Amino acid sequence: MKIGPVILSNPFILAPLAGYTDLAFRLLCREQGAAMCVSEMISCHGLVYGQKKTLEMLKTVPEERPVAFQLFGNDPDIMGEAAAILSTCPIEIIDINMGCPVRKVIKKGSGAALMKDPIRAEAIVRAVCQNTKLPVTVKFRSGWNNENLNAVHFAMRMQEAGASAITIHGRTWSQGFSGRADQSVIAEVKKNVSIPVIGNGDILSYRDGINMIEQTGCDGVMIGRGSLGNPWVFNPQGRPDTLEERKPLLLRHLELAEQHLPTRKILFRIKNHAIRYLTGIHGAGKLRKLIADAASLEDIFSLIRFYHHDLPTK
């Protein structure tokens, strides 16, 4: 798949996930086969006003390239300024978030709220494109609700405004993450635009991703929640069944966190990631609790390394 001048080695991409797609997890997913990863969403205001927490999110290393950083906001001028700042980073693509369903984002007119204001959304894309030489992509949903399924019209406007590719999550804002993603919307958008279309929603395995491509004709797939505790999702072999088989990748995740993240400040996030690796393993409650109660990253390392009782899946 080609997005502007960026050529991806395969159609599998890690979606932006607030609180999860930090540098360590992005590197791990790249090692497991993801062709590209997208950062957590970055506030355009935080970037333009130089807020420390926002600037810390810009950390990247050559090993994760190609990489996309995602911006969110609803002011075209500020989004343009933020795009100019992002363009100084060693990244390949700027993605614009127009799909986040979180209420505090929606209240400010950002995320999925922009699907109700396509004129402003188009102005944002134009402003970002005018302030960067990098390809610009847009991630959005099938619509605001079932009465307003405007993804096709919205996609055409994004293309006209200069987007090099679009990603569609096959759910409306009102659905949030409930119900099933509607793949027919992705297929319909693909028929109506000439730029690459990336499908998103309910991809829990490598096979699910291939099926979406075959059923919708989309050019690539973006995997979000299906990757949590399961970076094997980018690999045809999939996630192994036993704890012993999962340990090496969990330990690798912890190593990358130790190398690249302020682990003391975000220990709760690292625990959250680690516990998800135990999904589907019968009797893992004890280890799950031990990880949750751990006082440091070193303690989590020790727990994983020396917990030898192998537990079969259900």
Considering the domain architecture, whether residues 190 and 293 belong to the same structural domain is answered as: no
Residue 6 lies in a domain: yes
The four Cα atoms 224, 66, 236, 206 give a dihedral, to 10 degrees, of 30
Whether 270 maps to a domain, the answer reads yes
CATH number of domain containing 88: 3.20.20.70
**Pairing between strand 2-3 and 6-7?**
antiparallel
pLDDT for res 309: 54
Residue 311 lies in a domain: no
**Are residues 247 and 228 located together in one domain of the fold?**
no
| Domain match, 186 and 128 both | yes
- For 11, the domain range is 2-234
Q: Are residues 211 and 265 in the same domain?
A: no
My answer on whether 268 and 159 are in the same domain is: no
209 within a domain of the structure (yes/no): yes
Are 133 and 33 in the same domain? yes
Question: Is residue 312, in this structure, part of any structural domain at all?
Answer: no
Q: Is residue 314 one of the residues assigned to a domain? A: no
Shared domain for 134 and 185, answered yes or no, is yes
Same domain, 93 and 164: yes
Domain count, the chain: 2
Query: What tens digit of pLDDT does each residue of 7-24 get?
Result: 999 999 999 999 999 999
Q: Are residues 257 and 299 in the same domain?
A: yes
Residues 163 and 203 in one domain: yes
Residue 313 lies in a domain: no
Domain end call among 234, 254, 287: 234
| Residues with a known catalytic role | 100
| 200, 281: one domain | no
**151 and 71, same structural domain?**
yes
Cβ within 8 Å of residue 255, ≥6 positions away: none
Q: At which of 204, 234, 264 does a domain end?
A: 234
> Is residue 247 within 8 Å of residue 254, measured between CB atoms?
no
pLDDT along the chain (314 residues), means of 10: 96 96 97 97 96 94 97 97 97 96 91 94 98 98 85 97 96 78 94 97 96 97 96 95 93 96 90 94 89 93 78 47
Domain boundary residue among 185, 217, 234? 234
3-state SS, the chain, equals CEECCEECCCCEEECCCCCCCCHHHHHHHHHCCCCEEEEEEEEHHHHHCCCHHHHHCCCCCHHHCCEEEEEECCCHHHHHHHHHHHCCCCCCEEEEEECCCCHHHHCCCCHHHHHHCHHHHHHHHHHHHHCCCCCEEEEEEEECCCCCCCHHHHHHHHHHHCCCEEEEEEEECCCCCCCCCCHHHHHHHHHHCCCCEEEECCCCCHHHHHHHHHHHCCCEEEECHHHCCCHHHHCCCCCCCCHHHHHHHHHHHHHHHHHHCCCCCCHHHHHHHHHHCCCCECCCHHHHHHHHHCCCHHHHHHHHHHCCCCCCEC
